[in-house]
Amino acid sequence: MTTAAAQAAVAENPWLNAQRQFDNAAEILNLSPGLRAVLREVRRELVVRFPVKLDNGGLRVFEGYRVQHNLTRGPAKGGLRFHPETNVDEVKALAMWMTWKCALAGLPYGGAKGGVAVDPATLSHRELERLTRRFASEISVLVGPDSDIPAPDVNTSAEIMAWIMDTISMEAGYSIPAVVTGKPLDIGGSEGRPSATGRGVTIVALEACRRAEMDPASTRVAVQGFGNVGSVSAQLMHDAGFVVCAVSDVHGGIYSPGGIDIPELMEHRRTTGGIADFPGTRFVSNSELLQLPVDLLVPAALENQITARNAGHIHARLVIEGANGPTTPDADVILEQRGITVVPDILANAGGVTVSYFEWVQDLQSFFWEEGEINRRLERIMQKAFTQMCQQADSHGVSLRLGAYLVAVKRVADATAVRGIYP
């Protein structure tokens, strides 16, 4: 590996980036060296390797992870992803970001994350179920409604959460609905959960536009990633009056300067299986989409999409991070110097974990709320967190990301100080 390549690999290591973001906040908060040492490392990391029987009778060994960053404010909370590039450093970073995300939203959780290094598209439906159930059994030493509550993430779904809930319940001998969130409604899922992350992105986008004195009706939007988060964000932002002129999925994107009819695009995807060749649009790559002449950019795919290599070419005035870790710290510096405002992931995509919290509470109570109430509660929490983030950013003269971290890290640090160190 060349020196330049090695430097790029370090710059885009999500775990090192997560620690760097924490260090920036810890410095301003003047945390003690001991407290910094506790909070900048994960508490537990479980690596499991397990066999799965394939449909052809063969066996394949997979590697999976469950990482808990911090449990000071409550049980660990975080998603599970199935992706071929999943690795322990990525999962550690995601777990740390979950800690700050939950703290910023005021949820009584710590942060966790997990995943399996697998491309689920290469598995049959039966193989995927066997992999999921075996992985659930392997990590069952950590998960539980009072200890660690998984949820859907990249390439996982409500059905996969149902398999996990059933596996843990069968091993315990009784049903445990609150062991996971993001489940189907039939087994304790919550109204509003499938659209929650995208709804949160839209709520935050509206708040950011108000702060920047931008009219949604004249705000052109590009959304990278048209999965659950990106498609819902695009739909709700379209409904809110934004001009959504570009979206993309794993195969590439489409662009129309005058705007895209998102409801018609959703129907096109339903009938054709993708967004390609939508009438009135032209093809753009995922990298090109980031640099389109738009006002607001929503990276809602994977981490490390905006880096030092392309940050100088971003045209948007606002970046709303629908994905976790889409902007590297080096890119953050460039964007800030160019006057581009970034609303950080730990707030922008916190809608999912917030409604997951609602689902968990409903499961524990066996009492369920209507979707309207859930959406109103979500909006109040997101708006309050946005205001607190802005207050800290303005008070210290720092970016919104650092403002969000100042709120979140202080809450976890204060809780750690109050609880003390055992024994």
CATH number for position 69:
3.40.50.10860
Q: Within a domain: residue 132?
A: yes
Shared domain for 232 and 114, answered yes or no, is no
The reply to whether 154 and 213 lie within a common domain is: no
Mark whether 112 and 158 lie in a shared domain. yes
In a domain, residue 66? The reply is yes
Last residue of a domain, one of 180, 212, 231: 180
pLDDT band (50, 70, 90) for residue 12: confident
pLDDT band at 142 (very low <50, low <70, confident <90, very high): very high
68 phi and psi angles, rounded to 5 deg: -115, 120
Distance CA 276, CA 274 (A): 6
318's CB contacts (< 8 A; 6+ apart) are 205, 208, 209, 212, 214, 295, 296, 297, 340, 341, 342, 343
Active site annotation includes 92: no
**Burial (Cβ within 10 Å: 0-12, 13-18, ≥19) of residue 137:** middle
- Name the helix (H) or strand (E) containing 192: none
CA–CA distance, 134 with 182 (Å, rounded to integer): 19
Number of domains in the chain: 2
233 domain residue, yes or no: yes
pLDDT at residue 90 tops 70: yes
Over 90: is that where the pLDDT of 303 sits? no
Identify the pLDDT of residue 2.
Answer: 58
At 235, the amino acid letter reads: Q
DSSP symbols for 208-254: HHHHHT--GGG-EEEEE--SHHHHHHHHHHHHTT-EEEEEEETTEEE
- Same domain flag for 171 and 257: no
- Segment 289-299 shows an average pLDDT of 97
> Which residue among 127, 150, 180 closes a domain?
180
Same domain, 98 and 68: yes
User: In this prediction, what percent of the chain has a pLDDT beyond 70?
Assistant: 97
d(CA 330, CA 137): 39
Angle formed at CA 135 by CA 133 and CA 141, multiple of 5 degrees:
105
| Domain encompassing residue 263 | 196-348
- Residue range 173-200, pLDDT digits in tens: 999 999 999 999 999 999 999 999 999 9
258 and 282 part of one domain = yes
Question: Do 69 and 98 meet the contact criterion of CB atoms below 8 Å apart?
Answer: yes
Whether residue 414 is contained in a domain is answered as no
Q: Do 217 and 343 reside in the same domain of the chain?
A: yes
> Are 98 and 224 in a shared domain?
no
What element of type H or E holds 68? Answer: strand 59-70
The verdict on 320 and 207 lying in the same domain is yes
Strand partners, 283: 254
pLDDT at 258: 95
The CATH number covering residue 227 comes to 3.40.50.720
Question: 180, 210, 231: which is the final residue of a domain?
Answer: 180
What is the spatial distance between Cα 363 and Cα 187, in angstroms, rounded to a whole number?
Answer: 9
- Please indicate, yes or no, if residue 97 is contained in any of the structural domains: yes
Q: How far apart are CA 222 and CA 244, in angstroms?
A: 6
Question: How many angstroms separate the CA atoms of 105 and 119, rounded?
Answer: 32
Q: Is residue 30 part of a domain?
A: no
* Tokens coding 127: 């193989």
Predicted local distance difference test score (pLDDT) of residue 3: 56
Do 170 and 245 lie in one domain? The reply is: no
Q: What's the whole-number average pLDDT of the chain?
A: 96
With respect to residue 381, please indicate whether it lies within any of the assigned structural domains: no
Domain co-membership, 159 together with 283: no
Q: Which of 77, 92, 101, 113 is catalytic?
A: 113
C-alpha separations of 159 from 133, 151, 153, 175, 183 in Å: 12, 11, 12, 16, 7
User: Which one-letter DSSP state was computed for residue 275?
Assistant: S
Confirm whether 145 is domain-assigned.
yes
User: How many residues in total does the chain contain?
Assistant: 423
Check residues 250 and 404 and name the one with the higher pLDDT.
404
What is the value of pTM for the model shown? 0.94
CA distance 203 to 28: 29
Collapse the DSSP code of 39 into the 3-class scheme (helix H, G, I; strand E, B; otherwise coil) and give the result. helix
What's the rounded Cα separation, in Å, for the pair 339 and 193?
34
Residues 215 and 338 in one domain: yes
Identify the pLDDT of residue 375: 97
Q: What is the mean pLDDT of residues 43-67?
A: 98
- Residues whose CB falls within 8 Å of the CB of residue 284, separated by 6 or more in sequence, listed in order: 246, 248, 252, 253, 254, 255, 292
As a whole number of Å, the CA-based R_g of the chain is 21
The span from the CA of 417 to the CA of 372, in Å, is 38
